[in-house]
Amino acid sequence: DAGVIQSPRHEVTEMGQEVTLRCKPISGHDYLFWYRQTMMRGLELLIYFNNNVPIDDSGMPEDRFSAKMPNASFSTLKIQPSEPRDSAVYFCASSFSGTGHNQPQHFGDGTRLSIL
Partner 1 sequence: GNSVTQMEGPVTLSEEAFLTINCTYTATGYPSLFWYVQYPGEGLQLLLKATKADDKGSNKGFEATYRKETTSFHLEKGSVQVSDSAVYFCALSSGGSYIPTFGRGTSLIVHP
Residues that bind partner 1 (CB under 8 A): 4, 31, 33, 42-43, 45, 48, 50, 56, 91, 93, 95, 97, 100-110
Least gap, CB of 86 to partner 1 (angstroms) = 19
Taking the least distance from each CB to partner 1, the nearer of 42 and 70 is: 42
Interatomic CA distance for residues 30 and 50, integer angstroms: 6
Interatomic CA distance for residues 31 and 107, integer angstroms: 12
Taking the least distance from each CB to partner 1, the nearer of 17 and 97 is: 97
Least gap, CB of 79 to partner 1 (angstroms) = 20
Whether the ω angle into residue 70 lies within 30 degrees of 0, i.e. cis, is no
Taking the least distance from each CB to partner 1, the nearer of 82 and 94 is: 94
Least gap, CB of 104 to partner 1 (angstroms) = 4
Q: Which residue type sits at 59?
A: G
Residues 115 and 64 sit within 8 Å (Cβ to Cβ):
no
Least gap, CB of 29 to partner 1 (angstroms) = 11
Q: Which residue type sits at 1?
A: D
